[in-house]
Amino acid sequence: MWAGVVTLFPEMFTALTESGVTGRAVKRGQLEVAFSSPRDHAHDRHRTVDDRPFGGGPGMLMKVEPLLEAIDAIRQQAPSTPRVIYLSPQGQPLTQKRVEQLAQLDSLVLLCGRYEGIDERIIDRCVDEEISIGDYVLSGGELGAMVLLDAVTRLIPGVLGHADSAVEDSFSAGWLDCPHYTRPEEFDGQRVPEVLLSGNHERIRRWRLKQSLGRTWQRRPELLEDLELSKEQQQLLAEYIREQAT
């Protein structure tokens, strides 16, 4: 996956490119991240990248010309025509389903707004899709870009070891994950559920599925509305709900 990032703060992205699973993916060449800053494309004496909004109002906006030049510069580096995504509170919510679709692309350009955002003419000219990582306002789109890149990079084949890829099943199935335990079997009086020590893989599968469905019902019932549960899943969820009542 090739990602071009248009940002005034490329140094923020070392958290993604130099740490953990995503840092390893960059080192292995599974993810490539390139940067382009509007500041490098501001040619006036003060290298101005922002300006006051027409119509008045608080704050500043990112200027058209430096941003457009920065976008064109990064697009030229893309190995294939990139999908241009703008991170903004006005975007479509980022979901695991959308992450899975984005992970299929060869190249992305991520626009990171600062101040109160960017001139709408850039969105009209260059942006294919606006994405939001949640209903709150941040000081810039960079954290959203890193969230998106992290979620997408995990899905690139070979990035996660086999053991980790099992983690995908629950959320990509559309429900929350089940509880997890590791050694010791007992800690300060708290025991690991016996079923997980039983070695009975079918019982363990059913227990984990029941816990996932039950927790989804308890914490995020709206996620269940879009799901068509199998007979087994419906039965396990019903059992979980009955046990909650007692």
Ligand X SMILES: NC(=O)c1ccc(NCc2ccccc2)nc1
The catalytic residue positions are 89, 116, 154, 169
Give the nearer residue to ligand X in terms of CB position, either 7 or 211.
7
Is 109 annotated for ligand binding?
no
As a dihedral over the C-alpha atoms of residue 40, residue 42, residue 45, residue 50, rounded to 10 degrees, the angle is: -120
Give me the residues that bind ligand X (CB under 6 A), please.
87-89, 113, 116-117, 132-134, 136-138, 140-141, 144
Please report how close the Cβ of residue 59 comes to ligand X at its closest, in angstroms.
9
Is 140 annotated for ligand binding?
no
CA nearest to 115, candidates 50, 46, 40? 50
Give the nearer residue to ligand X in terms of CB position, either 21 or 143.
143
Give the nearer residue to ligand X in terms of CB position, either 133 or 237.
133
Give me the half-sphere count of Cα atoms (radius 13 Å) on the Cβ side of residue 102. Answer: 28
Give yes or no for a contact between 133 and 148, defined as CB atoms under 8 angstroms apart. Answer: yes
Task: Determine the distance from the C-alpha atom of residue 36 to the mean position of all C-alpha atoms in its chain, rounded to a whole number.
Answer: 21
- The C-alpha atoms of residue 230 and residue 228 are separated, in whole angstroms, by 7
**Residue at 88: amino acid letter:** S
Give the nearer residue to ligand X in terms of CB position, either 85 or 159.
85
Is 133 annotated for ligand binding?
yes
CA nearest to 20, candidates 171, 150, 141, 143? 150
Is 181 annotated for ligand binding?
no
Give yes or no for a contact between 36 and 91, defined as CB atoms under 8 angstroms apart. Answer: no
Please report how close the Cβ of residue 175 comes to ligand X at its closest, in angstroms.
24
Please report how close the Cβ of residue 131 comes to ligand X at its closest, in angstroms.
7
Known binding-site residue numbers for S-adenosyl-L-methionine: 113, 133-138
Q: Which residues are annotated as a binding site?
A: 113, 133-138
